[in-house]
Amino acid sequence: MIIDLKLGKFAHADAGQMHLYLNYAAEHWTHQGENPPVGIILCAAKGESLVRYATDNLPNKVLVREYLTLLPEERFIAAEIDKTRRLLEARVEKRRPGRTP
């Protein structure tokens, strides 16, 4: 997932930029069998906020897991980021040349 935070109103150039990011991520970061990346553009202008999803490369354009009416607690998000970081570091460690199992 790629998140782009923008100050100001949404412009079509923002969507083009996100698609550039998504194409790069799909080519360089996505592993075989993984779904294509999803982009979220968050725009905030004075008195207005807007969210756009970029899902062009997905076979199913709408992905919904859970609807939340409140933001999760910061400690929960921090724990999830830490867990994901550890998983990614373990994946990188497995790929290092000369690694002894």
Split at pLDDT 50, 70, 90, the class of 62 is very low
Can you give the pLDDT at residue 65?
Answer: 46
β pairing state of 39-45 and 2-7: parallel
Q: Residues 4-27: pLDDT tens digits?
A: 888 878 888 888 888 899 889 989
38 occurs within a structural domain: yes
Residue/partner pairs of 14-21 with CB below 8 Å, 24 or more apart: 14/41, 14/43, 14/52, 15/41, 15/52, 15/54, 18/52, 18/54, 19/54, 19/56
65 occurs within a structural domain: yes
Q: How far is CA 84 from the centre of its chain?
A: 13
Q: Domain count of the chain?
A: 1
76 occurs within a structural domain: yes
The average confidence (pLDDT) of the chain is 76
32 occurs within a structural domain: yes
101 occurs within a structural domain: no
91 occurs within a structural domain: yes
Q: Which residue has the tokens 């083009």?
A: 16
**74 is in which domain, residue-wise?**
2-95
